Amino acid sequence: MRVVEGARVQRDRLLGSAGLAAASAVLFALTFPPTRWTILSWLALAPLFLAVRRGTLAQALFVTWLWCVVGACVAGDWFPRAVAEYFHQPIWVALALFIAVFTLMAGPYLMAFAAAYRGLARRLGPLALPFFAAAAWAAAELGRGRLFTGTPFFIGNPWALAGYAHAQNLPLAQIASVTGIYGVSFAVACANAGAAEAWLAWRRRERSRRAVIAPVLLSLLPALAFIAHGYAVLGRPAPGADAPATAIAIAQGNLSVGTQWRSDFYGRNLDVYLTLTDAAATEGHPDIVFWPESAMTFFLEDEPIYRKAIASVTRPRGIELVVGGPRNDGAHPEPRFFNSVFVLGTEGEIRGRYDKQYLVPFAEYFPLQVDVMRRRFGSVRVFEPGSEKAPLATRAGSAGILVCNEVMLPEVASERVARGAVYLVNPSNDTWISDPKYTEQQFDIARLRAVEQRRYLVRASTAGPSAVIDPLGRVLVRTNALQREFVLGEVRPVTERSIYGRIGDSFGLLCALAVAAAFVMPRLR
Q: State yes or no: is 389 an active-site residue.
A: no
Residue closest to 427 by CA, chosen among 497, 501, 339, 518: 339
Query: Could you give phi then psi for residue 74, rounded to 5 degrees?
Result: -80, -45
Q: State yes or no: is 68 an active-site residue.
A: no
CA dihedral 88, 90, 94, 99 (to 10 degrees): -170
Spatial separation of the C-alpha atoms in residues 306 and 326, rounded to whole Å: 14
Helix segments in 180-234, DSSP class H: 181-203, 209-219, 221-234
Q: Say if residues 412 and 398 touch (Cβ distance below 8 Å).
A: no
Spatial separation of the C-alpha atoms in residues 413 and 424, rounded to whole Å: 8
Residue closest to 133 by CA, chosen among 69, 218, 63, 57: 218
Query: Could you give phi then psi for residue 497, rounded to 5 degrees?
Result: -100, 145
- How many other CB atoms sit within 10 Å of the CB of residue 266? 14
Q: Which of 404, 406, 452, 490 is catalytic?
A: 404
Q: Which of 141, 197, 293, 384 is catalytic?
A: 293
Query: Could you give phi then psi for residue 104, rounded to 5 degrees?
Result: -80, -40
Residue closest to 321 by CA, chosen among 475, 476, 494, 460: 460
Provide the β-strand partners of residue 85.
Answer: none
Three-state DSSP at 75 gives helix
Q: Which of 190, 197, 356, 511 is catalytic?
A: 356
Q: State yes or no: is 293 an active-site residue.
A: yes
Provide the β-strand partners of residue 491.
Answer: 246
Residue closest to 248 by CA, chosen among 340, 320, 311, 315: 320
Mind telling me the catalytic residues?
Answer: 293, 356, 404
